[in-house]
Chain A
Amino acid sequence: MRKVNFTLALAGFFFLLQDARAQDTTTVVPTAGLPAVDSALRINDTAKNRLINDNAIPAEETTVQPGNVQPAADLSQFAADTGKAADTATAATGSTPADTAALVDTTGKVEIGSQTAVATNQLTGIVLEKDGTTPIIGATVQWQKDQVTTQTDIDGKFSIENRREGGILSVSSVGYTAQNIRVKPGQNDLKVTLGVSSDTKIDEVVVTALGAQRNTRGLGYSVQQLEGRSIQEAKAVNYINSLQGKLAGVQIGGNSGSMNGSAKVTIRGLKSISRDNNALFIVDGVPMANMNLNSLGQGNGGGGFDYGNPAQLINPNDVENISVLKGAAATALYGSRGQNGIVYITTKTGKGAGNLTVNYDLNFQFDQVSVLPKYQNMYGGGNSDTFTKLYANEYPDAFGPNGGTYNDQDGKGSYDLIPDYAMDESWGPRLDGRNVRHYWSWDKDKNNPDFGKSAPWSPHPNNVKDFFRTGVTMSNNVSVASGSEKGSIRISLGQTSQNFVYPGSHLDRVFAGLNTVYNFTDRLSFTGGINYIMDKSKGRPGTGFFGPNPMLQFNMYGQRQLDNEMLKNHQYADGSERTWNRRSWSDAGPVSAQNPYWNQYKNYNTDRNDRYFGNLGFSYKITDWLSADARIFSDFLNHLDETRSARGYLTGSYTKRELLYNENNYQATLNLNKKWESQKLSLEAIAGGNILNVRANTETGQTNGGLMSPGVYVLQNSVLPATTSTSYGNYQTNSLFGTATLGYNELLYLTVTARNDWSSTLKQTGDFSFFYPSIGGAFVFSELIPKNKWLSFGKARLSYSQVGNITSPYFVSRYFDFSTPFSSYPLQTTPDALYNDKLKPEMSKEFEGGLDLRLLNDRIGISATYYNRKTENQIWTIQLPPESGYGSKIVNGGTVQNQGVELSISATPVMAGKFSWETALNFSKNKNKVIDLNTNDGSIGDIETFVISTERRTQRVSMVAMKGKSLGTLIGTDYIYDANGNKVVTDKGIYDVTGKSVVIGDVNPDFIGGFSNTFSYGNIYLSALIDFQKGGDFFSYTNLYGNKSGLFAETAEGGIRENGVINEGVKVDGSPNDIVITARDHFISDGGNRISKANLYDGSFIYLREVRLGWFLPQKWVSKANMQAVRLSLVGRNLWLMHSNAPNVDPSSITNSIGNAMGFEGGALPAVRSYGINLNVTF
């Protein structure tokens, strides 16, 4: 036993090495992105080892009982719902648990051929590779007790003497995981299959283009793979946000306060000037619709609701792993679709699940608003320091029986002080506690119980914070899986419900999924999966400069003294609204702001998504090295959103929009996988064809002229005829493609791909067929140097590829648009965009090179990648000068270059007994540059600036493509500086401003990255992820208007309201400025509405993004409860904005759209921090 323990300890130690290594290879960029996740998994292993030692249960021991399924005493099942739980009589493998190392299935298996009593002293059997057919020659078979040993013969067969019932038989072979089998009476003819050990040259297998599993060793490009648990433990309802900081070169933008709003995924920088820049999401081969459902306003600071990007509509609990294909070489086979990189998600199956494996996952989380501006609490609403006096004698109906609060004894009688309700700014009287008539003290005719009351004019410092409640999110997921030789099945049912931080906001999701495999014969198999997701939300907050965004009245135009308790009372008994922004004491109608609770409860917005997606197909093994595959991939998405404005003081309105989207892919492939051992050659190849067919249809409708009857939200309740519209976006692309990887001696690899597309969207041009190739190589140079502990692995890789791209439907021939008829006149108009019947496909070229190293016995892994991509001949919508008659035209032209580096380092600095510390860092820097902005045919020239988007409100700041600068340069007005760099002030004492727009910033960050550390002790682990960004400028409405309206602390600090402001700078004559202006004039005139630069901020941040404290319950407890594994963790997300250069907002949480507009913080919703508990139980 002692020896066993020692061996185990060694094995355990080895584990860590292997695992660290496994990660390095998982991603060609080692651990890089997924630090936290992987580390935790490693802890898992540590825990396992620890437990093994503690309990003195040999990990590699399995009790085999004839006809009786006994779960292995294998803690590898700890991790979440692995889908690969113990098989019948699975021997514990001692290798990576199924959910850690991607697709290397290290689990071996033992079958009992004969269960009759055998009278001999012999035990016979056969040892095979995992495929169940290839014999393993020369494997060692040994009785542990007395070291009786034999080896398998040329057929993998063995026969061993000294048979002992109940004894432990050990089967091992170099490069394979060992099996320990407890032999029970009567067993014989064992069929032992050995899993592949990750301690072999097999390295890691990752999912690549078309879902093909490939060994990273031979890849000429970078692929990074994350395990499902990275999005399952510390859950974000939009799981995409959980990827933040975990992937090198991947930038994720969102707004944590926007109730599962959009997460924009940009891989290796912005590439397309005017078309989509988002990564493509593919789930089990199904390309997921991920269109921008939001209006333009979400991107440019205007109004609207953020419905979230549809890629989030999958069940995160079903995710087995996430593979990120970043560069053109990795995505070449996807052609048009893979332009912006691909996030390839593989879901769990029932493979290896045994007769029955059940997993239950419970997540319970609280959401709290974490970043709010610093408000001033000295001055209230209005724009002068006085109140209006209202005399009881003049307006007796406006007073209660006791008349007014004050009486100056001047013969005019008693009066009340009236604040300026109509003014939605806070430049008003000092909050000195004088009794005034607040907005809620009028409306006698509505039986207002508060009528006639005066109350103190006093601060309510927490009035914004109090508006938000603590959100509660609960998720449940149950999965049931079963797998055998004949096939497997996994069924998953899940549910999420969320009451978000906004009053009245609620979300429900339901998930159902089925994955199944059935092997009809050895050659013919079927696989299929189908998923349904229902997602519905109510009471989403508006975004941007838009009434239904509560931050508009809290942070942009509002009054500071409001008492949230009074705001809650948002309507009178007769159902009419009670808002603070009433027109006057005698007129309760809102000037602009409606009561925020009225917005949430009466003007609520609802939306619903129903998504079905899945795939079905057959696979036929023609020979053992060639198979044919035919599959259908389908995605149906139905999105409905409805926006309401209650009829009250306003006439009311109702808008609905319904989108139906269906994409089907019909695909047939031939897959070749052959080795010529004698020539040391290997070939992996795929050839096939695909038909992609998309049907998209959007119907919108809106009422006009108000609602006839209040409270009824249908189009027919429209005072004037409702308007409706229908639009389509159908297209088809047919493709033929092929890829082949030729390997030599596990030293050199060469990959080529080729694809030809025929696209319907270019049909009318005649030029609708296009071809593009890629080539890549990998050189495992460590094969050439003697084994040493400094460099355990070294690989260089290189690739070059071209990627084609197509246009959107209907842009290559003439159309006219319908307008709403006028009276009896039908109207049609010429579209703003000019069609182009000479359009050609787009082509990008990318060069990528990289190095993967493992050092110090794999204790350190380093991976570095350099890429240089030129997206040229882009299809983009060039802006035409309007005097040409058109605003834009689809053209070929424009060149954008992206150059960058991605660096990942992972290390295990400490491994001491029960304790280990693992750390990982990923870092990426992308520099993009607009090389050219003209059309290729020379018809449009001299273009230096192309406006991508202009913010809605001041219309001074634009995100542009500017020749020689980066794609995403911000232009706007700036201060005027003298020769010494001092700001110049005008004779009025305000800063002077440039007449024209100049470059003021750049939305692209200088670099981004993530840093994770995991500490584990026994079966407890603590993991923390910090992500960071340097640079990336944005223009902030929150700061502009918060100061302009006198809401923020800055407007009442240092006595500036009392004493005025002298702007730091020089007068035109060069002398120091000494002109005093009022604080209000300063913030109105010197702010970003006039001088854009004044409210332009650096978006750098350091964020404690994720923390997990987990505990694997001791196996002896778990076993007693008849469970396989229980994991309990405390999790937190978006916990702490540790550093930011921008005041009052969270710079990492300002994105409300996956559209191209960036760099505009249009009144961002507050950042939300989440923390909670995750429980995962496997039965």
Chain B
Amino acid sequence: MKLKISLIILCMLAVFSGCKKFEQINTDPARPEETSPQYLLANAEKRASDLIYGPYYNCRIGMHFAQYWTGTDKTDESRNMIIDDGLWGALYSGPLKDLQEISNYYDRHPEERNPHTIAITEILKGWIFHVLTDVYRDIPYSQALQVNQYPQPEFDHAADVYKGILTSLKEQIDILQNGEAADPVAGDIIENGNIQQWVKIANALRLRIAMRMADVNIQEARLVIEEAATNTLSGVSDDAFFPYDNTSASARFPYNEADRPLVEFAVTSTLIDYLKTTSDPRLPVYARPAQASNEYNGKTYGTAGNTPLLADLSTPSAVVYSPLFKGYIITYAEVMFLKAEAAARGMNVGGDAEGLYKDAVTASMEQWGITDTGVVRIYLDNNPYTAGEWKNVIGTQKWLALYMQGIQAWMERLRLDIKKPDGTDLFIPPASGSLDPQVTDVPYRLTYPNATRNANPVNVEKASINIGGDSKATRNWWDIH
């Protein structure tokens, strides 16, 4: 009897000694335990572009607050009510984390370390962090993305984030230009590992970032701008963008009409009317005529409800609704507008403001496919540079040039407080009124998302106090009217 029981227990113990198999059982057959930096880099580039040009963050936030588009039937965002607060989370835990993970990978495999790959990841981080700090103001930067050390990172002042990004960009340029030799960079979809091109992009970003703080720190801005202007994008062919293609559904520009007609947005009368009054050749590239009348007819920004009907309105063009549209990081045209502004502000960037302005407008035309020099010349004659109104002249043209780069255009609108060259208002407040009582006109920023509010409450609260209140009405540090 006892023997039998002992035998059974013995058999069971034998079974349980099989726990060694557990490690194998608890190893996922469907996922790799190690990756390769090139896969992460490619994914980060694509993901960042997908988000920044996504149907919500670009179309409903950027393109709205830059007043290019307005909603057709769903008009909450046109009236300053934001529903999806995921941009922050998506950027941090998406591309930024994958870029960070490349460094982590090299820490695990120091023998494979590729300084050029790291430099490119840092430039990309700079681009993304800059978007984040502009959209939200104070953000976690120095403690971000280090989950084991800082599971709840502290926030940095936006000015410090600017400083950090500018320093980093300069360092990366140094590494790429003067650092040790490295193997070719794999997994770089944007520039295919072209190091010199990345140097130009880094400098272009330095121009953008430094100029954005020009109103508050002109000395620092001047130093950076004058240096960066010497080696940056030098033609439309240098435009830095994510090259969407048609090889698969996910390879397409994130908001496109390949599968279905898009009916959510109309082009604003703000844009259509301005393009019409200035006989802008970009009009048919930016918008399509109303279906019913075959005429260009914008919808008044922020009009609630489906009036007028979609058929009576201009919708975004087939060019910008194409699955092949580009996910821009920064363009030659923007660089030229930055240079023109720098010149207008008296900086030395190799040229006078008017000439640079003309180059900038010409570059924008070329970028949008208008290469007939005669057409461009007439346009420039009709829209000349005037030194006394440089802010509005450059501002308006830059706004037109930044079409589709919603977030950047929104920021430039805030920074330059753009009016028409004649000084009259270009933008209007939402026609049916704002649904957010704190902002009647255009939001200055987005509020901190619930994801961080819930999971990092103490630091969010500190940051909210630091910036003077977590509302859409709080201006960024560089936005001093």
Could you tell me which A residues sit within 8 Å of B by CB distance? 383-384, 420, 422-425, 583-584, 587, 589, 591-592, 622-623, 628, 650-651, 668, 670, 689, 691, 704-706, 720-721, 723, 726-728, 730-732, 734, 736, 758-764, 768, 809-810, 812-823, 825-830, 832, 834, 878-887, 889, 939-947, 950, 954-956, 958, 960, 986, 988, 992-993, 995, 997, 1080-1081, 1084-1085, 1089-1090
A706→B259 CA distance, assembly (Å) = 7
Provide the residues of chain A in CB contact with B309, threshold 8 Å: 420, 422-423, 584
- Among the listed B12, B33, B139, B147, which residue makes an inter-chain contact with A813, where contact means beta carbons less than 8 Å apart? B33
Cβ of B27 within 8 Å of any chain A Cβ, yes or no, is yes
Residue of B nearest to A729 (CB): B28
Q: Is the CB of A764 within 8 A of B26?
A: yes
- Among the listed A383, A809, A885, which residue makes an inter-chain contact with B93, where contact means beta carbons less than 8 Å apart? A885
Provide the residues of chain B in CB contact with A383, threshold 8 Å: 305-307
A651→B256 CA distance, assembly (Å) = 14
Given contacts A828-B32, A881-B152, A939-B151, contact A810 B26 (CB under 8 A): yes
B49 shortest CB reach to chain A, Å: 10
Cβ of B310 within 8 Å of any chain A Cβ, yes or no, is yes
B22-57 vs A, CB cutoff 8 Å, 1 = contact: the mask equals: 110111111111111011101100110000000000
A706→B250 CA distance, assembly (Å) = 13
Q: Is the CB of B144 within 8 A of A828?
A: no
Within 8 A of A (CB), among B142-195: 144-147, 150-153, 187, 189
- Among the listed B15, B19, B144, B457, which residue makes an inter-chain contact with A689, where contact means beta carbons less than 8 Å apart? B15
- Among the listed A622, A834, A955, which residue makes an inter-chain contact with B4, where contact means beta carbons less than 8 Å apart? A622
Q: Is the CB of A731 within 8 A of B30?
A: no
Q: Is the CB of A810 within 8 A of B260?
A: no
Interface segment, one of B352-360, B418-426, B448-456: B448-456
10 interchain residue pairs of minimum CB distance: A704-B249, A881-B456, A882-B89, A828-B39, A885-B97, A763-B22, A760-B22, A883-B140, A882-B92, A827-B43
A840→B246 CA distance, assembly (Å) = 47
Kindly list 4 other residue pairs between chains A and B, CB separation below 8 angstroms, not including A763-B22, A810-B27: A723-B248, A760-B26, A828-B43, A955-B85
- Among the listed B43, B47, B98, B458, which residue makes an inter-chain contact with A942, where contact means beta carbons less than 8 Å apart? B458
Q: Is the CB of A816 within 8 A of B35?
A: yes
Q: Is the CB of B84 within 8 A of A955?
A: yes
Q: Is the CB of B15 within 8 A of A884?
A: no
Q: Is the CB of A820 within 8 A of B93?
A: no
- Among the listed A423, A720, A889, A958, which residue makes an inter-chain contact with B450, where contact means beta carbons less than 8 Å apart? A958
Provide the residues of chain B in CB contact with A819, threshold 8 Å: 43, 46, 250
Given contacts A822-B189, A825-B187, contact A628 B8 (CB under 8 A): yes
Q: Is the CB of A810 within 8 A of B28?
A: yes
A818→B36 CA distance, assembly (Å) = 12
Given contacts A827-B42, A883-B456, A955-B83, contact A758 B22 (CB under 8 A): yes
Residue of A nearest to B18 (CB): A734
Q: Is the CB of A885 within 8 A of B96?
A: yes
Name the residue in A650, A651, A763, A809 with the highest tally of chain B Cβ atoms < 10 Å from its Cβ: A763
Cβ of B433 within 8 Å of any chain A Cβ, yes or no, is yes
Provide the residues of chain B in CB contact with A988, threshold 8 Å: 433
Q: Is the CB of A726 within 8 A of B30?
A: yes
User: What are 20 inter-chain pairs, A to B, with CB distance below 8 A?
Assistant: A420-B306, A592-B263, A689-B12, A727-B30, A731-B26, A815-B31, A819-B46, A821-B248, A822-B248, A825-B187, A828-B43, A880-B152, A881-B451, A883-B144, A887-B89, A943-B454, A947-B450, A986-B437, A988-B433, A995-B471
- Among the listed B4, B8, B248, B260, which residue makes an inter-chain contact with A651, where contact means beta carbons less than 8 Å apart? B260
Residue of A nearest to B95 (CB): A829
A1000 shortest CB reach to chain B, Å: 15
A691→B28 CA distance, assembly (Å) = 20
Provide the residues of chain B in CB contact with A1090, threshold 8 Å: 81, 435
Cβ of B73 within 8 Å of any chain A Cβ, yes or no, is yes
Cβ of B474 within 8 Å of any chain A Cβ, yes or no, is no
Cβ of B245 within 8 Å of any chain A Cβ, yes or no, is yes
Q: Is the CB of A705 within 8 A of B16?
A: no
Q: Is the CB of B151 within 8 A of A650?
A: no
Provide the residues of chain B in CB contact with A689, threshold 8 Å: 12, 15-16
Q: Is the CB of A732 within 8 A of B25?
A: yes
A882→B246 CA distance, assembly (Å) = 31
Residue of A nearest to B457 (CB): A942
Provide the residues of chain A in CB contact with B4, threshold 8 Å: 622, 628
A293→B311 CA distance, assembly (Å) = 41
Within 8 A of A (CB), among B300-323: 304-307, 309-311
- Among the listed B28, B40, B251, B459, which residue makes an inter-chain contact with A828, where contact means beta carbons less than 8 Å apart? B40
Cβ of B468 within 8 Å of any chain A Cβ, yes or no, is no
Provide the residues of chain B in CB contact with A589, threshold 8 Å: 261
Cβ of B101 within 8 Å of any chain A Cβ, yes or no, is yes
Q: Is the CB of A885 within 8 A of B92?
A: yes
A954→B47 CA distance, assembly (Å) = 25
B6 shortest CB reach to chain A, Å: 12
Cβ of B291 within 8 Å of any chain A Cβ, yes or no, is yes
Cβ of B280 within 8 Å of any chain A Cβ, yes or no, is no
Given contacts A720-B249, A995-B471, contact A650 B260 (CB under 8 A): yes
A878→B85 CA distance, assembly (Å) = 19
Provide the residues of chain B in CB contact with A705, threshold 8 Å: 248-249, 258-259
Q: Is the CB of B248 within 8 A of A883?
A: no
- Among the listed B47, B151, B259, which residue makes an inter-chain contact with A940, where contact means beta carbons less than 8 Å apart? B151
- Among the listed A591, A759, A885, A956, which residue makes an inter-chain contact with B263, where contact means beta carbons less than 8 Å apart? A591
Within 8 A of A (CB), among B228-251: 245-251
- Among the listed B139, B152, B454, which residue makes an inter-chain contact with A945, where contact means beta carbons less than 8 Å apart? B454
A502→B453 CA distance, assembly (Å) = 43
Q: Is the CB of A651 within 8 A of B259?
A: yes
Given contacts A668-B8, A668-B12, contact A944 B457 (CB under 8 A): yes
Cβ of B466 within 8 Å of any chain A Cβ, yes or no, is no
Q: Is the CB of A815 within 8 A of B33?
A: yes
Q: Is the CB of B306 within 8 A of A830?
A: no
Q: Is the CB of A884 within 8 A of B310?
A: no
Q: Is the CB of A884 within 8 A of B151?
A: yes
Given contacts A622-B1, A758-B16, A885-B92, contact A704 B151 (CB under 8 A): no
Q: Is the CB of B33 within 8 A of A829?
A: no
Cβ of B88 within 8 Å of any chain A Cβ, yes or no, is yes
A223 shortest CB reach to chain B, Å: 28
B185 shortest CB reach to chain A, Å: 12
Residue of A nearest to B432 (CB): A1081
B140 shortest CB reach to chain A, Å: 4
A916→B34 CA distance, assembly (Å) = 73
Name the residue in B26, B147, B153 with the highest tally of chain A Cβ atoms < 10 Å from its Cβ: B26
A734→B151 CA distance, assembly (Å) = 34
Q: Is the CB of B251 within 8 A of A823?
A: yes
A943→B451 CA distance, assembly (Å) = 12
Provide the residues of chain B in CB contact with A945, threshold 8 Å: 454, 457
B395-433 vs A, CB cutoff 8 Å, 1 = contact: the mask equals: 000000000000000000000000000000000000001
Q: Is the CB of B31 within 8 A of A817?
A: yes
- Among the listed B15, B76, B147, which residue makes an inter-chain contact with A885, where contact means beta carbons less than 8 Å apart? B147
B182 shortest CB reach to chain A, Å: 20
Provide the residues of chain B in CB contact with A623, threshold 8 Å: 1
Residue of A nearest to B451 (CB): A882
Provide the residues of chain B in CB contact with A960, threshold 8 Å: 454
Q: Is the CB of A883 within 8 A of B258?
A: no
Provide the residues of chain B in CB contact with A730, threshold 8 Å: 25-26, 29
Q: Is the CB of B26 within 8 A of A883?
A: no
Cβ of B438 within 8 Å of any chain A Cβ, yes or no, is yes
A756→B140 CA distance, assembly (Å) = 44
Cβ of B100 within 8 Å of any chain A Cβ, yes or no, is yes
Cβ of B292 within 8 Å of any chain A Cβ, yes or no, is yes
Given contacts A827-B39, A830-B97, A947-B450, contact A812 B83 (CB under 8 A): no
Cβ of B465 within 8 Å of any chain A Cβ, yes or no, is no
Name the residue in B27, B34, B292 with the highest tally of chain A Cβ atoms < 10 Å from its Cβ: B27
A828→B452 CA distance, assembly (Å) = 25
